[in-house]
A and B are shown apart, each in its own frame.
Chain A
Amino acid sequence: MLNTKGASIGKKTLFFIIILSIGFYGGYKFFAPTSEVAMVKNALYRSGASGKALLNQTKEFTGQVFEVKDGDLIMDAVIKAQPGDLIRVYPGTYSETVYVDKSDITFQGIVEGGEWPTLDGKTTLNDAFLYSGNGIHIEGFKITKYKGNGIMGQAGNNFVIRNNWIVDTGVYGIFPQYGKNGLIEYNTLTGIEDAAIYVGMCDNIDVLHNEVFGNVAGIEFENSRHCIAENNNVYDNAGGILAFITPGLPIKTTYDIIIRNNFVNENNHVNFAPPGSTVAGVPSGTGILIMAADDVIVEDNIISGNNNVGILITDFPNGGIKASRDPEADPNPDNVTILNNLMMRNGADPIDEIKVLMKTLFMKVGPDILAIGKGSGSAILNREKYVTFGIGSYGNPTKTTSYGVKTFLLDKPAEHRDITKKQLGEFTYYGVCAGCHAFNTRLIGVPTNVIQAIHTNNPQGIVDYINAPKNLREDYPEMPPQSHLSEEAKMAVAEYILGLKK
């Protein structure tokens, strides 16, 4: 009985298990996310803990989705894409330079079964991604063998560069230049002959959760303001994290930088930068370098095993970088604050200049922290914990934590100022049309008041003429079409012309 009962229970259980399994299997078949659905639809609309401020700007996705598959050109999709569109790139090898002179375009690499959409420069192409637009998002790409940069932005704001895998790619891996309000997170970069992540002449940039190793420099903030490097794993580079001023650039300052919660370990890679580059002068074994930058806070990092020095703070003359001086750039690092950090095993084999310094001080171990040259207002917490040189002038910090700042991203995207239709008409009329047209005088084309008389209350008539001029007067040269103007500019200038009084 017991046995039977047991057997019957066993049978029932088995039955249930089978039914459940079928149910699970069916449910899996019907409802399991396919790779596509599981992917975030559009980087722009992803919300996350990091970069929350930027990514809070969610809006309904109304754009078009372009699918690019192996054998296609990504550029073909870029040419067709309009602001707001998403370009989804599937696994395959793409050998091209993707240049984006449009705004609000998202590139989303789809990784399937470990297969990446790969941009391969084959050591002949210059740059993988070049963008000048605002609101560019690039995520999920493997980039390799380009001669210039992996991802370069030129004056593009509000960008997100995320989840990319950049290997052995030219000069810089990720290099936003002249950008404001950008997020660089969860990327892995190696084999870059200058900086893996290079924030140049930018403002309000968060560099979070990246892995950078085997590069000349790991993460670099150059002539940039309001930037944070946090939660990055920075190892086996010649120099780990750098915040400095390069003189001779149009932006002259680096300040308000936070370096927090990073691993900066064993950055002892041989410096393989090409001669003449700024980082060629960074000694191998340098964990963190602060040169001429102001208002830098270094907090809660683990900085270990960097053979030259854990943290080097220097002015420009002592920085060892051969570049022309710049009277407009202050050469001294001011207001550097070193808070709690875990530092050990640094300075095991420093450069000769530091060795000489060690001898004069009868020290056997190289420094965790070395400050050399001028600068004022700097401070350090619990200095007795570290092996230090040259911080005699450093005071006790007045600020005890940097955690008041969670992000430097802006509450709202950095946008061009709002201009009215009338202003656009004004810019277009005086900036373009005025070469040939004046109000009541003949220049090359007819006087503007004659245009008014012909097209009274009919701006569309002017727009049509702008698009396809018809030569109406024998004694005037034919007007070249001005169809290069945007549709908004054409209508704005047509209305502006009709409203002109003088």
Chain B
Amino acid sequence: MSLGNIKIKFKVVFIASLLILSMMIYLGVKKEQPVAMLTEVNEEYFNLSSHCPPGFMLNENNECVSRNLYQQYEYKEKKSNRGVGGLKTALPDLREGFSPQQIDLGRYLFFDPVLSGDGSVSCASCHDPNQGFSDGKALGKGIHGAKMKRSSPTLWNVGYLKNLFWDARSGSLEHQMQGPLYSEEEMGTTKEQLLNTLNTIDEYKRLFGVAFPQREKTDSINIGEIYTSIAAFESSLISLNSRYDQYAHGFHNALNENEIKGLNIFRSFVARCAECHTPPLFTNQQIAVIGTPEPDGLPFDPGAEITFKDSTRRGGFKVPSLRNIEKTAPYMHSGKFTNLRDAVEFYTKGRGHAVPENEDLFIHWHIWTPNLTELELDRLVDFLRTLTDESFKPRVPKILPSGINSQQIKS
């Protein structure tokens, strides 16, 4: 009996000390790691975030819907003149409603070189968040060093755009991404290879099951899910908190005197920049023939003429947004201008001054000879630099579900 008592007592003491010990260990661990960074935890286990990225609110259907101060300016008639005009103007419709999991899965895919033919390039190779979601090059560089014919456009606010590519040949993100994915010169893969590759990576199979819960977890990844995820991530790239935006919302001290001068030149009817680069997106999303020079040695780029089979649009390109423009040099479809000053100066050098002699282009009516002074050009550049905002820049994953730790990825 006494022996049994001792045994019981020992057991009690043992369990109690274990409890105390584990509590101490827990407290110790807790002390060392106060609050773990959300995304780091995700990357360790590849758990997809259940939070929306900044700029989005999670609704009851597990969809991320955009929220920003421009939503104050919508009219009762919902579609009334959105996306064009003045400072307090609502934005056009955004591609939205993706789940947080789809957006986060898209983030992994976007940065993962496993999507390319030989595992060497990812979407981020040409759309690097640290280079304004462009690549800092005049002309893009594809797989095996292939040189592109046009400059890589930024992806900031791309979810607001109706047409994609410089020549507006695509109408949706899902359609657009098939261009670079399956181009032999860009990412050099095929639909079959892409599906095979991702379906052999267990981690991706599991993550797609989480992001697309309406189907069986064990089902293979299908191509639509890949497109949806990448589109979800791309359309989450929101930049609407620049100093210009603070000014637009009514805080006039956000811009200094020179920048306000620049704003007034920008929207004046002499420079006419704001006629096509209309706030709040700084693009009216139209095609414009402005006649910028091609880089040396490259033939004339017919641009939107091909897309629309319309010779009146020869040499026409989509008006690009100017948000984060400071971060995306060189400029124009051809990357011809290395800095903002040169890009701005183009517009005051005369209507059609850089058009080859054998071309008869339908130059846009706002391209004229505004005779801007050197000072005015400087002020325009000052203003363009107020359009910078990368506060919602997404995190580059440190490790990827494919296990590739590519040098392409800079963090």
Contacts and interface: CB of A to CB of B under 8 A. Distances in A.
B86 A438 contact: no
B210 interface: no
Interface string A150-174: 0011111000000000000011100
13 contacts: A101-B87, A153-B86, A155-B89, A170-B270, A178-B86, A248-B288, A323-B364, A431-B241, A434-B55, A441-B35, A442-B37, A443-B54, A485-B249
B87 A171 contact: no
A148 B269 contact: yes
A428 interface: yes
Contacts of B36: 442
Given A149-B268, A275-B351, A429-B67, 17 more contacts: A126-B265, A126-B271, A154-B85, A154-B87, A155-B87, A170-B269, A248-B287, A248-B288, A276-B363, A276-B368, A322-B362, A324-B364, A427-B68, A432-B241, A435-B55, A438-B51, A485-B251
Contacts of B55: 430-431, 434-435
A325 B316 CA distance: 11
A41 B308 CA distance: 56
B316 A427 contact: no
A147 B34 CA distance: 62
B259 to A, nearest CB: 13
A438 B38 contact: yes
Q: Number of contact residues on B: which range applies?
A: 35 or more
B146 to A, nearest CB: 31
Contacts of B86: 132, 153-156, 178
Contacts of B249: 484-486, 489
A276 B351 contact: yes
Nearest to B65: A430
Interface string A415-454: 1110100011011111110111011011100010000000
A131 to B, nearest CB: 8
A427 B264 contact: no
Contacts of A246: 365
B71 interface: yes
B75 interface: yes
Contacts of A414: 75, 80
Contacts of A475: 34
Given A101-B252, A155-B87, A426-B57, A417 B287 contact: no
For the residues of A in contact with B, the DSSP-based class is loop
A33 interface: no
Interface string B54-85: 11111000000011110111111000110111
B286 interface: yes
Interface of A: 79, 97, 99, 101-102, 126-127, 130, 132-134, 147-149, 152-156, 170-172, 175, 177-178, 180, 201, 203, 246, 248-251, 274-278, 322-327, 414-417, 419, 423-424, 426-432, 434-436, 438-439, 441-443, 447, 475, 483-486, 489, 502
Contacts of B264: 97, 99, 126-127, 130
A427 B268 contact: no
B241 A427 contact: no
B69 A178 contact: no
Contacts of A97: 264, 268
B278 interface: yes
B316 A417 contact: no
A130 B260 CA distance: 13
Please provide the 3 A-B residue pairs with the shortest distance between their CB atoms, ordered closest to farther: A155-B86, A155-B85, A431-B68
B96 to A, nearest CB: 12
A246 to B, nearest CB: 8
If over half of B's interface residues share one DSSP class (helix, strand or loop), that class is named, otherwise mixed; here it is: loop
B252 to A, nearest CB: 7
A170 B68 CA distance: 38
B255 to A, nearest CB: 10
B273 to A, nearest CB: 12
B251 A325 contact: no
Interface of B: 34-38, 51-52, 54-58, 66-69, 71-76, 80-81, 83-89, 240-241, 246-254, 260, 264-265, 267-271, 274, 278, 284-289, 308, 310, 312-313, 316, 351, 362-365, 367-369, 391-392
Contacts of B287: 248, 324
B91 to A, nearest CB: 11
B374 to A, nearest CB: 14
A147 B66 CA distance: 41
A154 B69 contact: no
Given A132-B86, A154-B274, A250-B284, A419 B310 contact: no
B44 to A, nearest CB: 15
Given A178-B89, A417-B76, A147 B270 contact: yes
Nearest to A443: B38
A154 B269 contact: no
B67 A426 contact: yes
B392 A428 contact: no
Contacts of A443: 37-38, 54
B285 A484 contact: no
Point out which of A79, A134, A154, A489 has the most chain B C-beta atoms below 10 A from its C-beta: A154
